[in-house]
């Protein structure tokens, strides 16, 4: 894990982490040369230690960086900073399609076709430059805030395919979208991307995958042998055209799918009806000529010759075996498989990988055992069976956020992981003893035995009410604001013994233990006969109001102070929906402005007077 503030390769300052997957961790970073925000993908340790994989990965990144398309995430740079191997790419504000589907459920056919057409457009551009994606899935399809598509991770699956089986944990994470030819281990072309896009379109319009199983092997076999349930069986009102496009893309034989991503895009946009056409049939060749009969005498003579030759060759083979020279078996254990194969070849032996096992100590591709002990004398050409390492076992991180610490411990232990750093933090919504956050994130694929760091809630924070009596109102308000407390009500009382604007009463009393959102009221002094005179400074108060479960309702009141005859009051709201201006209007001194603010999630309400910020409220 890379800490915020670290500078990678002298060019990228890490701001915060965006996500973590089985292959890499993605950070939001600032490019120091121009201040632009980028997404920095950093390879996980088990990948960065594989020189062959890193070299291929960087080669693929350089190839993809030549592509420029509005529906593709642009790659700016790639390289290494010591053991840290990274790719700098375009930072996309928004979420990926998988997250979008989890929120929205199945999409309307129109929206699904719109998204799929943009993906097909990006694939067509990549295919035209000789690059096949190989891992099209919703997690690699990003949606910008305005709904546009950005496809990412081109070339990563190609790099993975050259890595050892240690990395199949990552590849199998996409097995739901795997084409039949990929599942069989055959050569992969452009048609594999179209099959995967067909699976994505199926998921978008039905809300489920065509094949579902907990076992990756069973899923791979389903892609090879089974037909998916027709989409209209799940969604009866689905247009026939949408089903036809999906079923053509999901045909088992690559030649029976669309001939190109451009063809599929044309159907998706309704510009053609290729989905109606039957699958192309292989061309018929000339009929074979009928076999000619041989005379019986020729058959008998030929058989005798074959038998004689066979007996002679058998005798030669037996005699040869009895005279084969003997060699000594080398010690292959601890050697990389490539080196062990060279040793076997030099010794006149043949090496066969009979088994692969996980190992926390042996690097991937390393021999961990052999069936013929070192030093044994065997016949030259003998097959020696070896077991190689898959590297550390990879497991999936469970989701423990919102669970009690005791339950989290149990789930982490069952996942063959362990508890790492435990930190505590106050939280107004989560009760004490329950998990607020975890690192790595749920669903990440990590080495068995990895430490999972947790942040555990201490419950709501309790503050001590400060002494406000005797303070001028602006000073009292500033003191409360520094503690995160919002002033809810300001009353006035006629007092001749203290300066006007001085706090003479407060509620709650000084020393009271309270929450930050508890209402606070003060009473300030005014001179007799000046009860209606505008205050010398603006008075801003905020009161929580009842609202829906997922929204905050705050009544904000402003008393305009003495001064110019027309003073502009501006109220700005910042919440999870964005930034919006609620009010911008001139008012006369003494006017009382009241606005009801509805917001969602973490909220900041800013009150400006004559362009100057006078109060920030955090309900």
Give the residue numbers marked as catalytic: 135
Nearest to 17 by CA among 418, 399, 412, 440: 440
Rounded Cα distance between 103 and 105, Å, is: 6
With beta carbons less than 8 A apart as the criterion, state whether 122 and 72 touch.
yes
Give the phi and the psi of residue 80 in degrees, each rounded to 5: -140, 150
Task: Say how far apart CA 310 and CA 332 lie, in whole Å.
Answer: 38
Which residues, in sequence order, are CB contacts of 219 under 8 Å at separation 6+? 175, 176, 178, 211, 212, 213
Contacts of 438 (CB under 8 A, 6+ apart): 397, 399, 400, 401, 408, 452, 453, 454, 455
Q: Which of 63, 45, 42 is nearest to 159 (CA)?
A: 63
Q: In angstroms, how far is CA 361 from the centroid of its own chain?
A: 29
Phi, psi of 24 (to 5 degrees): -155, 160
**Peptide bond between residue 516 and the one before it cis (omega within 30 degrees of 0):** no
Residue 530 has what DSSP assignment?
Answer: -
Q: What's the token pair of residue 143?
A: 């949606």
SS3 of residue 536 by DSSP: coil
Q: What is the DSSP letter of 280?
A: P
Helices 261-268 and 190-206: angle between axes, nearest 10 degrees = 20
The rounded distance, in Å, linking the Cα atoms of 330 and 349 is 10
Q: How far apart are CA 557 and CA 374, in angstroms?
A: 86
Nearest to 525 by CA among 592, 470, 466, 465: 470
Alpha carbons 609 and 535: distance in angstroms, whole number: 14
Residues sharing a CB contact under 8 Å with residue 550, sequence separation 6 or more, in sequence order = 600
Q: Structure tokens of 182? A: 């990929």
Rounded to whole angstroms, how far apart are CA atoms 71 and 58? 22
Round to whole Å and give the CA distance between 353 and 336: 12
Q: What DSSP assignment string belongs to 110-178?
A: HHHHHHHHHHHHHHHHHHHTT---S---GGGEEEETTS-EEE--TTHHHHHHTS-GGGHHHHHTTGGG-
Q: Determine contact, residues 526/562, Cβ cutoff 8 Å.
A: no
Contact between 123 and 193 under an 8 Å Cβ cutoff? The reply is yes
HEC letters along 543-580: EEECCCCCCEEEEEEEECCCCCCCEEEEEEEEECCEEE
How far apart are the C-alpha atoms of 101 and 211, rounded to whole Å?
17
**Locus of tokens 């799929």:** 116
């Amino acid at each position: 894990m890379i800490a915020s503030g670290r500078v990678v390769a002298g060019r990228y300052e890490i701001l915060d982490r965006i996500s973590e997957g089985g292959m890499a961790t993605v950070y939001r970073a600032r490019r120091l040369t121009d201040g632009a925000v980028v997404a920095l993908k950093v390879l996980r340790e088990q990948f960065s230690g594989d020189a062959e994989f890193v070299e291929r990965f960087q080669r693929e990144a350089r190839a993809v960086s030549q592509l420029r398309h509005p529906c593709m995430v642009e790659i700016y740079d790639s390289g290494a900073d010591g053991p840290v191997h990274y790719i700098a790419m375009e930072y996309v504000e928004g979420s990926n399609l998988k997250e979008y589907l989890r929120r929205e459920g199945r999409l309307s056919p129109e929206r699904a076709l719109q998204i799929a057409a943009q993906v097909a457009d990006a694939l067509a551009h990549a295919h035209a430059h000789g690059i096949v994606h190989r891992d099209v899935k919703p997690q690699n399809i990003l949606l910008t805030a305005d709904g546009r598509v950005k496809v990412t991770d081109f070339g990563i699956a190609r790099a993975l395919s050259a890595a050892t089986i240690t990395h199949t944990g990552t590849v199998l994470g996409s097995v739901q979208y795997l084409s039949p030819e990929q599942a069989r281990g055959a050569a992969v072309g452009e048609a594999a991307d179209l099959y995967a896009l067909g699976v994505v379109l199926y998921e978008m319009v039905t809300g489920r995958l065509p094949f579902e199983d907990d076992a990756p092997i069973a899923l791979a076999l389903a892609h090879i042998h089974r037909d998916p349930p027709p989409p209209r069986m799940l969604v009866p009102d689905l247009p026939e055209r949408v089903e036809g496009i999906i079923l053509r893309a999901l045909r088992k034989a690559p030649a029976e799918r669309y001939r190109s991503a451009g063809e599929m895009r044309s159907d998706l946009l309704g510009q053609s009806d290729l989905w109606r056409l039957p699958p192309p049939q292989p061309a018929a060749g000339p009929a074979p000529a009928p076999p000619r009969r041989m005379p019986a005498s020729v058959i008998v003579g030929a058989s005798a010759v074959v038998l004689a030759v066979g007996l002679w060759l058998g005798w030669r083979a037996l005699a040869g075996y009895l005279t084969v020279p003997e060699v000594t078996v080398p010690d292959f254990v601890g050697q990389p498989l490539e080196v062990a194969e060279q040793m076997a070849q030099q010794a006149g032996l043949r090496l066969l990988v009979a088994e692969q096992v996980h190992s926390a100590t042996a690097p991937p591709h390393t021999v961990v055992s052999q069936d013929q002990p070192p030093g044994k004398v065997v016949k030259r050409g003998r097959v020696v069976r070896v077991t190689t390492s898959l590297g550390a076992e990879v497991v999936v991180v469970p989701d423990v956020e919102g669970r009690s610490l005791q339950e989290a411990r149990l789930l982490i232990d069952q996942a063959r992981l362990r508890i790492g750093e435990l930190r505590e933090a106050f939280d107004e919504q989560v009760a004490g003893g329950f998990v607020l956050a975890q690192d790595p994130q749920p669903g990440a694929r990590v080495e068995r035995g990895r430490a999972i760091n947790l942040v555990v809630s201490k419950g709501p924070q309790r503050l001590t009410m400060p002494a406000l009596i005797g303070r001028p109102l602006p000073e009292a308000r500033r003191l409360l604001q520094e503690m995160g407390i919002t002033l809810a009500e300001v009353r006035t009382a006629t007092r001749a013994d203290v300066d006007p604007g001085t706090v003479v009463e407060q509620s709650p009393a000084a020393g009271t233990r309270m929450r930050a959102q508890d209402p606070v009221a003060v009473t300030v002094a005014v001179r007799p006969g000046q009860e209606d005179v505008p205050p010398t400074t603006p008075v801003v108060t905020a009161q929580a109001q009842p609202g829906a479960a997922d929204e905050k309702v705050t009544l904000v009141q402003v008393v305009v102070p003495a001064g110019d005859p027309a003073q502009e009051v501006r109220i700005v709201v910042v919440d999870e929906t964005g930034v919006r201006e609620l009010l911008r209007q001139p008012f006369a001194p003494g006017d009382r402005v009241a606005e009801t603010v509805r917001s969602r999630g973490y909220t900041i309400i800013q009150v400006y007077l004559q362009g100057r910020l006078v109060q920030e409220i955090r309900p």
